[in-house]
A and B are shown apart, each in its own frame.
Chain A
């Protein structure tokens, strides 16, 4: 699985957009970009994933560069409850033929401030 690089920490003002970057320069053609977050003392929570097109759901938007070597997770209006560790993971799409093994790196600790 491709390695990802994320900044260790970021701050964001409540109500503003939080833009979390991820570098994955060794990504291969069949690998997706997944984002999870882990709020203190809870299990990781899936946010969004994508292959090459930008994706949006009720939680966030995912912007993937054209060369697919980096991506940005956008929380459009961050709230205090979005304070968490955010993990960017690159791996082939999960299916019945693979183990669902996710390699969680150190992630980015996002602190949303009032």
Chain B
């Protein structure tokens, strides 16, 4: 049971490039979400999904796309990276019924130059 796995751990992009941050969980959790963490800003919710085929926007969705074709995977896409998207990105999941509330991955550190 690996929990929530994020890849890659580190990534450097040039402005305008695109990439996908991967997130996978093996706990059969219905709910998955993406956060970004910036110094002095805490964690902010980007997008979330309550089940396969269902996604919705969080606090800061602009510049990011998501899809949820399977229960296990919830990739985050940056279509045209900007320096403002330099951040640490965390994926999290939970069961609708379960406790603890959220399981987090160990993050992807993204730098956009």
A31 CB, nearest partner CB in chain B, Å: 13
A44–B42 touching, CB < 8 Å: no
The size of the chain A interface, using a CB distance under 8 A, is: 19
Chain A residue at minimum C-beta to C-beta distance from B45 = A101
CA distance A43 to B6 in the complex (A): 11
Binds B, one of A12-20, A62-70, A71-79, A92-100: A92-100
Whether, in the assembled complex, A86 has its beta carbon less than 8 Å from a beta carbon of chain B, the answer is no
Whether, in the assembled complex, B90 has its beta carbon less than 8 Å from a beta carbon of chain A, the answer is yes
Chain B residue at minimum C-beta to C-beta distance from A49 = B101
Which residues does chain A contribute within 8 Å of B48, judged by CB atoms? Answer: 99-101
CA distance A104 to B96 in the complex (A): 21
A106–B105 touching, CB < 8 Å: no
B110 CB, nearest partner CB in chain A, Å: 14
The 4 closest A-B pairs by CB, nearest first: A43-B104, A46-B100, A104-B42, A96-B96
Which residues does chain B contribute within 8 Å of A96, judged by CB atoms? Answer: 30, 50, 96-97
The size of the chain B interface, using a CB distance under 8 A, is: 27
Q: Which B residues fall within an 8 A CB radius of A?
A: 4, 30-31, 33, 40, 42-43, 45, 48, 50, 56, 58-59, 90, 92, 94, 96-97, 99-107
A106–B42 touching, CB < 8 Å: yes
B42–A45 touching, CB < 8 Å: no
CA distance A102 to B102 in the complex (A): 9
Which residues does chain B contribute within 8 Å of A45, judged by CB atoms? Answer: 104
Chain B residue at minimum C-beta to C-beta distance from A105 = B42
B107–A42 touching, CB < 8 Å: yes
A99–B45 touching, CB < 8 Å: yes
Whether, in the assembled complex, A80 has its beta carbon less than 8 Å from a beta carbon of chain B, the answer is no
CA distance A36 to B19 in the complex (A): 30
